[in-house]
């Protein structure tokens, strides 16, 4: 099946196999992360991204989080350079765009739904809010309904590579400083209702057409 979703999932699996658990500041992983940033920087028109790699640090000495760049690079590969994806260093940028597209109706290349609305399938992106910037605080979590009202919030997206009724496997970047696969428990119908994550909860599912 030669769809955006299938190409995205296959890309994520290939990146997992390429990294082999090696860390962001190691060679050649550092250069591969630089490639993610170059792709996203070119697509988003953000030249500042073009000088970032797996060792780049901010003013506090923390390395740049590259999980959204991972998603953006995967989308660039899966869509063959389509300009409609909201490339950015923040997951919330493409999440908010996907929610807005769902609200607009009509033909859309991708759209978001509440996390438990549909069974997960290969090539979806699942998104969780993270404690940090914006309203992503323990007592005020980001929800699907509130996401458009918050301009900037901390979140994380992973690519679904396997899904069944009881469980799913997802791959994301910048997890323990590498590309990592995780397992999610589902509800028996393929839906994700888990809200027990220590650093946040899952609130959005992004699906691609075509």
Predicted TM-score of the model (pTM): 0.95
Question: Does residue 198 surpass a pLDDT of 60?
Answer: no
Domain containing residue 13: CATH number? 3.90.1720
Tens-digit pLDDT profile for residues 5-51 = 999 999 999 999 999 999 999 999 999 999 999 999 999 999 999 99
What is the distance between the alpha carbons of residues 160 and 41, in angstroms, rounded to a whole number?
24
**How distant is the alpha carbon of residue 145 from its chain centre?**
19
Mapped onto helix, strand or coil, the DSSP state of residue 34 is: helix
Element (H, E) at 170: strand 167-175
Q: Which domain holds residue 114?
A: 4-208
Residues 54/210, Cβ–Cβ less than 8 Å: no
Quote the CA–CA distance of 202 and 95 in Å, as a whole number: 12
What tens digit of pLDDT does each residue of 65-95 get?
999 999 999 999 999 999 999 999 999 999 9
How many structural domains does the chain have? 1
């Amino acid at each position: 099946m030669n769809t955006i979703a299938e190409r995205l999932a296959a890309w994520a699996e290939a990146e997992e196999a390429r990294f082999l658990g090696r860390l962001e500041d190691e060679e050649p992983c550092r250069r591969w992360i630089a490639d993610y940033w170059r792709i996203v920087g070119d697509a988003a028109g953000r030249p500042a991204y073009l000088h970032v790699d797996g060792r780049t640090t901010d003013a506090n000495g923390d390395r740049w989080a590259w999980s959204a760049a991972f998603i953006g690079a995967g989308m660039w590969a899966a869509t063959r350079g389509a300009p409609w994806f909201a490339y950015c260093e923040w997951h919330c940028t493409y999440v908010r765009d996907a929610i807005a597209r769902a609200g607009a109706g009509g033909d859309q290349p991708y759209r978001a739904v509440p996390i438990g609305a549909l069974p997960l399938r290969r090539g979806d992106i699942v998104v969780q809010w993270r404690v940090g910037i914006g309203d992503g605080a323990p007592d005020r979590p980001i929800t699907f309904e509130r996401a458009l009202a918050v301009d900037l919030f901390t979140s994380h997206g992973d690519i679904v590579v396997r899904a069944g009724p009881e469980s799913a496997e997802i791959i994301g970047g910048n997890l323990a400083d590498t590309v990592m696969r995780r397992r999610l428990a589902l509800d028996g119908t393929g839906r994700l209702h888990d809200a027990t994550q220590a650093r946040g909860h899952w609130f959005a599912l992004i699906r691609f057409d075509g």
